[in-house]
Structure 1
Amino acid sequence: MTIRTLVWGENIHERINEVVRAVYPDGMHTAIAGALNSRDGIRAETATLQEPEHGLTAERLAATDVLIWWGHKDHGAVDDAIVERVVRRVHEGMGLIVLHSGHFAKIFKRLMGTPCALKWREAGERERIWTVNPGHPIAQGIPENFVLENEEMYGEFFSVPEPLETVFISWFSGGEVFRSGLTWRRGAGNIFYFRPGHETYPTYHNETVQTIIANAVRWAYRPGPAFTALHDAPNVPVDKALEPITERGPKLHQAGEEGYK
């Protein structure tokens, strides 16, 4: 089974900043997708903020098993209707991987229900990433720890809900630590947040980082049809109850009437 993966990139810094363009001449989204396409069982395409409907039409999302999200400069430009469209697909079982500054993306904040705020410093610090859940599928083939020589610091407190699992923790030269690989489930959808990926550094060219993202795609993938029944709230008639019952007392709704939403 090929996992249909869509890598979404804001695609602003690559176009306006010479430093970022030198590191990712074709965009970060293209670099990530290219690395994924070198892995067995994954077929990755890209979409960007500048495309009609941000490249996230209902038809395209319906054909996506896992969505990867990178944004930073203009989270507010993402249309709210598109946010709700993506959230609906995650609830139905589409996997979501949020990278680095995507912690402030509307989609991530909507799914987390919290501010998703953190401390940060842009000083090109060494980041040592520790694998604290070595048995997790996302950590397969990843060493006990690995180093990124230059990265932006993210520090605790990270105001997200308590995760389902913590897979990685980062330490920075300045002394801060950060829960840098976290998982959640929303509806039928698996969500993974992975911290590294500041745009001025070649993080997405790092083979270990690429392996973690590929592992996350496989982990987030949910086989089978979309779980669309999750959105339903059917009124079950008395005569359709699994066991015979007698209707009693006053009620608000007529038989078969839709509930209030």
Structure 2
Amino acid sequence: MVTVTVWNEFRHERENDDAREQYPDGIHEVIAGFLDERGFDTRTATLDEPEHGLTEEVLDDTDVLTWWGHIAHDEVDDEVVDRVQERVLDGMGLLALHSAHYSKVFKRLMGTSCSLKWREDEERERLWVVEPGHPITEGVDEYIELPESEMYGERFDVPAPDTLVFTSWFEGGEVFRSGCCFRRGAGKVFYFRPGHETYPVYYEPEIQQVLANAVEWAAPTGGPDPEFGERDPLEPLD
């Protein structure tokens, strides 16, 4: 069984009435709930827990980590960021959701500013599948339509994705690479744009399907551990 740790900053839902109305128990509880219903072994962790809930023991027992943050990126301790980065390079999957593009760990793994255009104006979004054979798109129609979204627009300052899975069009005219797959070391990273704190995006069945698919895709698959450094030849050398 794939073990998922659902991490959330959990600030908006306690401080903002609109966010609290949408997610009274926190975004993390909604995500963990529908992933649990799909057969994953889920736990939650939040910013204000000791070590942000991401202790060595928790990460050692995590196949895939989902990350949602927005207004308190700078409060994430660098030691925890180091720990998460190391686990990703060793094979743990990471799903960076919505404003987690600015999280310390995602920026560290990308090596760029991860900046973008944005506008919060309740715009319609069409999330187009541009890689229909990809495992993350299984069970999803040609596009997902969201009636209210926060606009994110290009240029998105990340390295070229290994695979681009979704591209968004917004009512105001912008487009955005909304579903990006990366490999970092032995780990898989998926950035998925939808998910604003005051819109009911994580209740949408198709969004839930995408995230469940992404967990399956990002989970470690085993295989031999590579060896590095100086080594003796496998065959005799003259």
TM-score, normalised relative to structure 2: 0.96
1:196 to 194, 197, 209: 194
Letter in 2 for 1:148: L
Matched positions, count? 238
Deviation of 1:26 after TM superposition, in Å, equals: 0.4
Could you say which residue in structure 1 is the equivalent of 2:103? 105
Offset of 1:234 from its aligned partner? Answer: 4.2
SS at match of 1:223: coil
Q: Percent of aligned pairs with the same residue?
A: 56
Q: Distance in 1 between matches of 2:37 and 2:236?
A: 58
Instruction: Report deviation, 1:25.
Output: 0.4
**Secondary structure, counterpart of 1:169 in structure 2:** strand
Deviation at 1:146, TM superposition (A): 1.7
Q: Please tell me whether the aligned partners of residues 93 and 226 of structure 1 are also in contact (alpha carbons under 8 angstroms).
A: no
The alpha carbon displacement at 1:242 in A equals 3.9
Task: Kindly provide the CA deviation profile for residues 90-142 of structure 1, in whole angstroms up to 9, marking residues without a partner as x.
Answer: 00000000000000000000000011000000001001111111100000000
Q: Mapping of 1:4-43 within 5 angstroms?
A: 4-40=3-39, 42-43=40-41
Kindly report the root-mean-square deviation, in angstroms, between the aligned alpha carbons of the 2 structures.
1.6
SS in 2 for 1:209: helix
Corresponding residue for residue 187 of structure 1: 185
* Amino acid across the alignment from 2:91: G
| Aligned match for 2:59, one of 36, 48, 61 | 61
1:61-80 to structure 2, matched below 5 A, reads 61-80=59-78
- Measure the CA separation in 2 of the matches of 1:243 and 1:167: 43
Rounded to whole Å, the distance in 2 between the matches of 1:225 and 1:23 is: 42
Contact map agreement 1:95 1:220 (CA 8 A) in 2: yes
Query: Hey, what's the Cα distance between the residues in 2 that align with 1:176 and 1:223?
Result: 37
1:73 CA drift (Å):
0.3
In the alignment, the residues of structure 1 paired with residue 160 and residue 152 of structure 2 have an alpha-carbon distance, to the nearest angstrom, of 18
Partner of 1:259: none
Q: Distance in 1 between matches of 2:135 and 2:128?
A: 15
Q: Does 1:95 align with 2:93?
A: yes
TM-score using structure 1 length: 0.88
Aligned runs of 1:1-261 on 2, under 5 Å? 2-40=1-39, 42-224=40-222, 234-236=229-231, 240-242=232-234
The 2-side partners of 1:175 and 1:101 are apart by 20
Q: 1:243 deviation in Å?
A: 5.1
Aligned-pair CA distance for 1:223:
2.9
* Residues 168 and 181, structure 1, Cα contact 8 Å, conserved in 2: yes
Distance 2:155 2:221 in 1: 35
In the TM superposition, residue 198 of structure 1 has moved relative to its aligned partner by 0.6
Instruction: Answer with 1 or 2: which has the greater Rg.
Output: 1
Structure 2 equivalent of residue 257 of structure 1 = none
